[in-house]
Structure 1
């Protein structure tokens, strides 16, 4: 099971290459600055502003806060290359990455793809304004392959029906006035147990590896499945476990044991269900990559809606260029990646300037 998905972005003239997480839980692109001496910066590729002919400082400092990590950076306007196209956009060069949250990461920075708090930071808004794509839509196909580092595909400007059947797609409206991909989760079902959360708020977050929920509900799920309090289970009985069903918009989205159990050694497996460390602005559930990889996921900025479409049995290996922007995703499935994203990155909270 892949636990980190990332792709390449180039910034500056001449272009400087970085590996970034495409994160639907945040709305800003940032990469480490050459002036950053935090341990997390020193182990990553760093942006050198003096080497770029197109660097335009904006004289603003931005702070990005995650659950157990944070980033402080300088805003600038630069030439950015993504998926074979180039555009002029805003990014932050991180001058501080305190803590240990990003030390084990297989990426340099993060490209935010949430509903924008400020439209000028939105990659989609900029691409539409510059006539690079026609529609404000992003879609993801996340692979689960344990043996390959090819993590899937992100498409900007639409979706690819080669990966799913358009006949059975159902859209989920984003909650009113939401600045993140928030929607209503009706309930969660395991065996004959229904965890009723009274239409609680959930988000779809490609920046999180795992599934977070209220502590009492996660404990109940683990107990019902026979998984111990730390989330570990003998791999021999993995396939005997029950499915876990998420009910969204009166439709059932089902995870099998192979979807929610990760093998970390020949005998030991671990669940992808984690207790939410603390409430986040009313959000009770975070459905990360462990959930999203089961489906073809569409984020529609125009209509403010999400779709989790059932994947086809045989998906294409070739990309058919059609005027949209395609980005191949790399991936990592190490235990270190799993622990990093379940404990540190998790969810974007806010930007302050």
Structure 2
């Protein structure tokens, strides 16, 4: 499950791997892809071109595979009723079903600033806050924005070991066109179209996205710092919200923000 580094204080204790472990692919293999719990990413740079991790959403929590996306500002998932979303890697269990979660709340129009902070609708359809996203390579998704519980696993020791559950917004699309990667969950790290928010005051000059990111939900609900770290090899990687890898020198490359 996706990890975060919790507040308050203390050095983060996330997962990390030696250079040779990332290079030789010693992480466990499941269906040809390297999967494991705790923020470990599965993917391939030179073939499929993306990396994914597991995340638990809803009540009761259900596990989904989620692609990490640093280039867009909307976390989105195919809904159970989508007829154009193709076959998900996890089958029907990989689709989000409103009936399967007792805590999901659809975002309705008109928006309420207190109940829907940071949310923007492209349009309102039957009182539902709807969105339409078009990607540079030609793919697109359309759907509605909802809010539900998102569950994060803590680090591996100390204060970071405590899990966190926050309420967060995301999109559930009922129509998808284009490349197969859109058939899976898509997690955005950014709140903004084109850049990350300023870690100093939370604001930026670029256009804001449709919903706050899950990292922002952790920060606003005082569960994490406004930072993340991302480490990638050719076929695997690590991802941590709210902190950085304490021994990042032991891995190949590390993106740390801020």
TM-score range, shorter chain: 0.5 to 0.7
Residue 81 (1) aligns with residue 151 (2): yes
Distance 2:53 2:183 in 1: 8
Residue by residue, what CA displacement relative to the aligned partner does 1:187-238 show, whole Å, maximum 9, x if unpaired? xxxxxxxxxxxxxxxxxxxxxxxxxxxxxxxxxxxxxxxxxxxxxxxxxxxx
Residue 20 (1) aligns with residue 90 (2): no
**Aligned in 2, Cα 1:18/1:152: closer, same or farther, shift over 3 Å?**
same
Residue by residue, what CA displacement relative to the aligned partner does 1:85-140 show, whole Å, maximum 9, x if unpaired? 321000111101123x02xx49721010124324842222211121211x211111
Q: SS of the residue aligned with 1:7?
A: strand
User: Could you state the TM-score of these two structures normalised by the residue count of structure 1?
Assistant: 0.43
Residue by residue, what CA displacement relative to the aligned partner does 1:148-188 show, whole Å, maximum 9, x if unpaired? xxx221111121131228xxxxxxxxxxxxxxxxxxxxxxx
Distance 2:243 2:52 in 1: 19
**Aligned in 2, Cα 1:41/1:60: closer, same or farther, shift over 3 Å?**
farther
Distance 1:120 1:109 in 2: 15
Q: Is the 8 A contact 1:137 1:156 kept in 2?
A: yes
Q: Using CA pairs below 8 Å that are at least 6 residues apart, which structure has the higher relative contact order?
A: 2
Distance 2:129 2:87 in 1: 20
Q: Is the 8 A contact 1:12 1:52 kept in 2?
A: yes
Residue 29 (1) aligns with residue 99 (2): no
Distance 2:213 2:238 in 1: 20
Q: Is the 8 A contact 1:27 1:115 kept in 2?
A: yes
Unpaired segments of 5 or more residues in structure 2? Answer: 1-22, 24-43, 108-127, 154-162, 193-207
Which stretch shifts more, 85-94 or 111-120? 111-120
Unpaired segments of 5 or more residues in structure 1? Answer: 146-150, 166-292, 301-353
**Aligned in 2, Cα 1:119/1:158: closer, same or farther, shift over 3 Å?**
farther
Residue 113 (1) aligns with residue 199 (2): no
Q: SS of the residue aligned with 1:78?
A: strand
Q: SS of the residue aligned with 2:248?
A: coil
Q: SS of the residue aligned with 2:99?
A: helix
User: Could you state the TM-score of these two structures normalised by the residue count of structure 2?
Assistant: 0.57
* Candidates 123, 144, 161, aligned match of 2:234: 144
Q: Is the 8 A contact 1:36 1:42 kept in 2?
A: no
- 1:333-352 mapped onto 2 (5 Å cutoff): none
Q: Is the 8 A contact 1:139 1:154 kept in 2?
A: yes
Residue by residue, what CA displacement relative to the aligned partner does 1:288-319 show, whole Å, maximum 9, x if unpaired? xxxxx96211122xxxxxxxxxxxxxxxxxxx
Q: Is the 8 A contact 1:47 1:93 kept in 2?
A: yes
Residue 295 (1) aligns with residue 253 (2): yes
Q: Where do 4+ consecutive residues of structure 1 move more than 4 Å?
A: 41-44
Q: Is the 8 A contact 2:67 2:186 kept in 1?
A: yes
